[in-house]
Chains A and B, each alone.
Chain A
């Protein structure tokens, strides 16, 4: 039985912040650097060490992804935290992607969950997975950060919550 907590909170204007750092957000799934909100420049970006593995997992499952970067900036450093929990780097999902490929995020989370379940086999039972997804709400031009912390089986809850945010967004646009 899945066990985890999920929270949602407002997040900074991702597109404005990316522009200010000289970065262009692609149309697909984009991983944000760990220090996206605070980096002085794109040269200072660091990304979680798990990002390479997760992008390979997604790619193998047919889900393309990118890492936010600026063209002239040096490649981001990888942060390897030797903490107990397994953290997925922060994902950004644009409103256009939610409209054109509403199932893509769910597919991505399924792939991540399947890999994490194998990876965490044999470890302590209380080892947790953490996932943060920033979703863009087109009509309000606002951003919500969904954070999940719990067992691997519960990662699906993130896709469900984002689908709900998207549905609410569409409903408010129709009114």
Chain B
């Protein structure tokens, strides 16, 4: 690979991102948005190559900046997917893309201080969430964990010097959770993981999707609807909850069907005080 300087990479990044920015609206042509995604995926691949090379020569700051550029480009890809998926009437997947976009920009800001300007993008995505999607009931899982492993050095997390959430030579440190037992599930207003949410609620005739409001007829094996009980389909955890989140927050939600919560109001007070 020919030698290319970081300022030159940053300049190229800015030019290619600027070319895509006019397409970050719901009304734009889907074909153009798909082309933009392809162009950004090419950019991500190139940035990943530069990041890996910088990490290999232990150029810490350079590797972290390249990590930030790559995650920011991924954030734009996911934002474009939000618009495409909304136009395709797939709001559930659009929501997941929005959460991945938010996670990617937040990760870029943690990668290096030079990405602080992305706070405005984070605000924009928060506004999109508020105005484009209905109110969401989030779910928060509490886990008891017996073993924690560092994602950087693969040692016992308590025995190494890496700190969760910090970038190390182009890679974020995460805690990998092992020997995990579920402890509780709570309904919360603000979860750490916004993929975790109620996706459908039981009605007398079937499951109502909370995004589309469509009711799908009940099928054999579904928990029967009982007046006064909340029967809900919910995503309660994703791979990121076990520390395998990529640096871009690009985890795949893991749906867990039919979480039953009788007397839902009793569990709507969040996590606090529910562990003992």
Q: Is the CB of A56 within 8 A of B163?
A: yes
Central interface residue in A34, A46, A52, A60, by most chain B CB within 10 Å: A52
Closest A residue by C-beta to B119: A122
Cα distance A39–B122 when bound, in Å?
A: 42
Cα distance A60–B122 when bound, in Å?
A: 32
Could you say which interface size class chain A belongs to?
A: 20 to 34
* Proximity bits, A110-149, B CB within 8 Å = 1, else 0: 0000010011011110100000000000000000000000
Chain A residues, CB < 8 A from B140 = 81-84
Cα distance A78–B101 when bound, in Å?
A: 29
Q: Is the CB of A122 within 8 A of B105?
A: yes
Cα distance A77–B177 when bound, in Å?
A: 11
Any B CB within 8 A of the CB of A170: no
Cα distance A10–B174 when bound, in Å?
A: 37
Residues of B in contact (CB 8 Å), total 45
* Proximity bits, B229-244, A CB within 8 Å = 1, else 0: 0000000010001000
Cα distance A123–B249 when bound, in Å?
A: 12
Cα distance A74–B276 when bound, in Å?
A: 18
Q: Is the CB of B144 within 8 A of A53?
A: no
A77-B144, A82-B142 known; A49 and B175 CB under 8 Å? yes
Closest B residue by C-beta to A39: B276
Q: Is the CB of B161 within 8 A of A34?
A: no
A79-B144, A81-B142, A83-B192 known; A122 and B110 CB under 8 Å? yes
* Proximity bits, A16-60, B CB within 8 Å = 1, else 0: 000000000000000000110111000000100100110111001
CB of A56, distance to nearest CB on chain B (Å):
6
Chain A residues, CB < 8 A from B241 = 80, 82
Q: For chain A residues 67-125, which have a beta carbon within 8 Å of chain B?
A: 75, 77-85, 115, 118-119, 121-124
Cα distance A17–B266 when bound, in Å?
A: 30
Q: Could you say which of B105, B119, B143, B163 contacts A53, with CB atoms under 8 Å apart?
A: B163
Q: Is the CB of B163 within 8 A of A115?
A: yes
Q: Is the CB of B275 within 8 A of A35?
A: yes
Q: Is the CB of B107 within 8 A of A77?
A: no
CB of B60, distance to nearest CB on chain A (Å):
15
Q: Is the CB of B106 within 8 A of A123?
A: yes
Number of A-B pairs, beta carbon distance below 8 Å: 106
Q: Is the CB of B145 within 8 A of A78?
A: yes
Q: State the main secondary structure of chain B at its contact with A.
A: mixed
A82-B141, A82-B193, A83-B270 known; A53 and B164 CB under 8 Å? yes
Cα distance A37–B192 when bound, in Å?
A: 27
CB of B241, distance to nearest CB on chain A (Å):
6
Stretch from B7-15, B29-37, B39-47, B183-191 forming part of the interface with A: B183-191
Q: Is the CB of B108 within 8 A of A122?
A: yes
Cα distance A118–B5 when bound, in Å?
A: 28
Chain A residues, CB < 8 A from B135 = none
* Proximity bits, B117-152, A CB within 8 Å = 1, else 0: 011001000100000000000001111111010000
Chain A residues, CB < 8 A from B146 = 75, 77-78
Cα distance A155–B270 when bound, in Å?
A: 22
Any A CB within 8 A of the CB of B271: yes
Closest B residue by C-beta to A44: B276
Q: Could you say which of A38, A81, A115 contacts B271, with CB atoms under 8 Å apart?
A: A81
Q: Is the CB of A49 within 8 A of B145?
A: yes
Chain A residues, CB < 8 A from B166 = 118-119
Cα distance A116–B72 when bound, in Å?
A: 22
* Proximity bits, B158-182, A CB within 8 Å = 1, else 0: 1001011110000000010100010
Any A CB within 8 A of the CB of B95: no
Cα distance A78–B119 when bound, in Å?
A: 32
CB of A145, distance to nearest CB on chain B (Å):
14
Cα distance A173–B63 when bound, in Å?
A: 57
Q: Is the CB of B110 within 8 A of A46?
A: no
Q: Is the CB of B161 within 8 A of A52?
A: no
| Ranked 8 nearest A-B pairs via Cβ | A122-B106, A122-B109, A84-B190, A83-B271, A35-B276, A78-B145, A77-B144, A81-B271
| Further 7 A-B residue pairs, CB within 8 A, beyond A75-B146, A119-B166 | A34-B276, A53-B164, A57-B163, A82-B193, A82-B196, A83-B140, A84-B189
